[in-house]
Structure 1
Amino acid sequence: MSLVSNASVVAPPRARLAGVVPVVLVCAGALAGCGQAGATPNENGVAEAPAARGSAQGSAQDPPANRLTPEEEADGWKLLFDGSLDGWRGYRRDDVPAGWQSRDGALMFMPGNRGGTIITVDQFADFELALEWKVSEGGNSGVFYRATEDEIRPYWTGPEMQVLDNAGHRDGATPETSAGSNYALHAPSEDVTRPVGEWNRARIIVRGAQVEHWMNGVRIVAYELWTDEWRALVQRSKFGEWPGYGMASAGHIGLQDHGDPVWFRNIKIRTF
């Protein structure tokens, strides 16, 4: 991620708000107050994701389906990518940038075309997001959440789970900017990413101020928004320039164009 100068932009289009009506669901995360037992340690003492009913726990190498099972539908999951670009648009624009395409069962970005970050049309407050991702050699991208269109760049408003080839990109050498991190703020507990070109399974769980990042079945980041500690951390980072960063209680899911080929599939969400 790199900073850019301000540019003239059009006013953001109006978005629909989803996921803010209370719904009684079973929480698959290990968040405080979720009402469900947390993650159980594996033989190495590492917290692993519980096999929640309706969660996709299969191999990331399985053929992409972009479909929900009956159990997932019963548990409130909804697809954000069904093989089409319906439900997505460019950040602060009405259409989808040409660089983003649906190809071979994946939502992919290819450089060389007009690009830009894409976001969901809907906004989400408390949710569990699940997806699979892979990048090209040296590739860089990210997944934004609770992003708003109050600024000209999405990462000035919402947190980002870093998507990266740790071995091939310089950001991989710094834990706070490596794959799975809460970009530039919270480092992952370990690197559990698969080799470049292979699919990784990611989950982002947001409930109130509690946030978790999971990668390939392991919880690697957990933090709390809006605390004194969090505010101090933000102020010491580049995000301190933007007072609205991370403050929204609801917002868009975003997929970042960082100029490198990146692929996403099996993108699904359920709200709490």
Structure 2
Amino acid sequence: MKKILLGFAACLVLSTAVKAQDNTLTKKEIKQGWKLLFDGTDLKGWHSFNRDTVAANWIVKDGQIQYNRERDRAGDDLVTDGVYENYELQLQWRITPGGNSGIIFDVQEGPKYHATYQTGAEMQVLDNVGADDNKKQNHLAGCLYDMMGDATVSHPVEPGGWNQVRLIQNKGHLQFYLNGTKTVDVQIGSPEWDKALASSKFKDPFFAEFMKVQKGHIAVQKHPGASGWKNIKIREIKD
């Protein structure tokens, strides 16, 4: 019994130690140039799209950024204060059953823009089974929304579990990874990109400035279904 109790205590300590590592950087990561975009305690460094402040529908709870549409239905997507061009972004997300959200990048702000996705591309966040927006292959989790990706590479964990994202943009070259699987690899402006763009909703005049600038804010999307975000970090690519 004593050995069992000691083992249980050791597991508890280990579990606590692992949990304490959320929203922090190791010495190695700091040396490599990683920076946290979220420290687990507040929303410093973020604002709601086209606002100076954060709308009430975005909160920090249990070391996560959480979205709750009941708090402020008028509040829009959550956007970084910083603007980024060439970088690797890593984060973890989870979603409730039926949930839908996204990571949108190269977002431009200003009076003439009405949504983050008007200018920025999206890495889809989705419950592939329970969400309404699961009918098209390139609408599944990890895909370049409405452009590239399919069920062969989209392998999110079940709702409530944490998914790991790597999103790399370097001189217009995009690479997406979801839970270690590469879901997208494309050069902006290539024939492959142009073909996908021409068959997407982004050919509409509303999206005339879609991905025209490969530099901008990074956003997490408000959408029906609660979402959670943590361990958000970025490493700018200098060379």
TM-score (norm 1): 0.75
Q: Is contact 2:153-2:182 (8 Å) kept?
A: no
2:105 is equivalent to residue 145 of structure 1? yes
The AA in structure 2 aligned to 1:149 is E
2:88 is equivalent to residue 131 of structure 1? no
Q: Is contact 1:185-1:237 (8 Å) kept?
A: yes
Distance 2:224 2:154 in 1: 23
Q: Is contact 1:226-1:247 (8 Å) kept?
A: no
TM-score (norm 2): 0.85
- Post-superposition shift, 1:90? 0.6
Q: Is contact 1:166-1:173 (8 Å) kept?
A: no
Runs of 4+ in 1 over 4 A off after TM superposition: none
Instruction: Look up the match of 1:105.
Output: 63
The AA in structure 1 aligned to 2:189 is W
Distance 1:237 1:220 in 2: 18
Q: RMSD of the alignment, in Å? A: 1.3
User: Residue 198 of structure 2 aligns to a residue in which SS?
Assistant: helix
Instruction: Looking at secondary structure, tell me which structure has more helix per residue.
Output: 2
User: Residue 134 of structure 2 aligns to a residue in which SS?
Assistant: helix
Distance 1:120 1:130 in 2: 14
Larger Rg: 2
Instruction: Look up the match of 1:255.
Output: 220
2:42 is equivalent to residue 77 of structure 1? no
Distance 1:191 1:180 in 2: 6
* Residue 120 (structure 2) aligned to one of 147, 151, 158: 158
Instruction: Look up the match of 2:77.
Output: 117
The AA in structure 1 aligned to 2:65 is L
Which ranges in structure 2 are unaligned for 5 or more consecutive residues?
Answer: 1-17
- Post-superposition shift, 1:193? 0.9
* Residue 223 (structure 1) aligned to one of 186, 192, 199: 186
- Post-superposition shift, 1:227? 2.2
Cα deviations across residues 115-138 of structure 1 (Å, max 9, x unaligned)? Answer: 310100000000000000000110
User: Residue 120 of structure 2 aligns to a residue in which SS?
Assistant: coil
- Post-superposition shift, 1:172? 2.4
- Post-superposition shift, 1:218? 1.3
Instruction: Look up the match of 2:139.
Output: 177
Q: How does 1:177-196 map to 2 (within 5 A)?
A: 177-188=139-150, 189-196=152-159
User: Residue 104 of structure 2 aligns to a residue in which SS?
Assistant: strand
Cα deviations across residues 46-104 of structure 1 (Å, max 9, x unaligned)? Answer: xxxxxxxxxxxxxxxx5261000000000000000002100000101100010100100
User: Residue 214 of structure 1 aligns to a residue in which SS?
Assistant: strand
The AA in structure 1 aligned to 2:224 is G
Q: Is contact 2:148-2:196 (8 Å) kept?
A: no
Distance 2:193 2:81 in 1: 28
- Post-superposition shift, 1:226? 1.4
Sequence identity (%): 34
